[in-house]
Amino acid sequence: MKAGTPGKYHINPSPKLMSRASQWRVVEHDDGIETIFYKGAFDDVTIYIKGYYNQAVGDCENKDDDYSYIVNTDYLNHREAKAEKKDGNPVFYFPKIKSEDNNKKN
């Protein structure tokens, strides 16, 4: 994954967030996507999570100067997102939207 290309994870990090790529990671599960930020790595900054609606994955550009990433809400359910700490690390979990549920939205 690189800045500007959401790829198979259906998220798109800003170039500034990607400049610290070794300090966070994305894990894809069968039912969702998890972003993990390593303990202490981002104590000095705020990370913004943004939702974009009704856009194809490739259309989600993120050129912000902030530490941010876009969650494509056509593929991930941001309303049922969960945040917790695992081993002291902030973790955000976004459930995937089933394709049949996504078709109902259109």
User: Which of 26-30, 71-75, 100-104 is predicted most confidently?
Assistant: 26-30
Per-residue pLDDT reduced to its tens digit, 84-100: 999 889 999 999 887 65
Please tell me the distance from the alpha carbon of residue 7 to that of residue 61, in angstroms, as a whole number. 12
Q: Following DSSP, what letter does each residue of 24-62 receive, concatenated?
A: EEEEE-SSEEEEEE-TTTTTTS-EEEEEE-S--GGG---
Q: What is the pLDDT of residue 91?
A: 93
Assessment of whether the complete model's pTM goes beyond 0.85: no
Average pLDDT of the residues in 48-77? 74
Q: Which residue has the higher pLDDT, 15 or 1?
A: 15
CATH architecture type of domain 7-105: Sandwich (2.60)
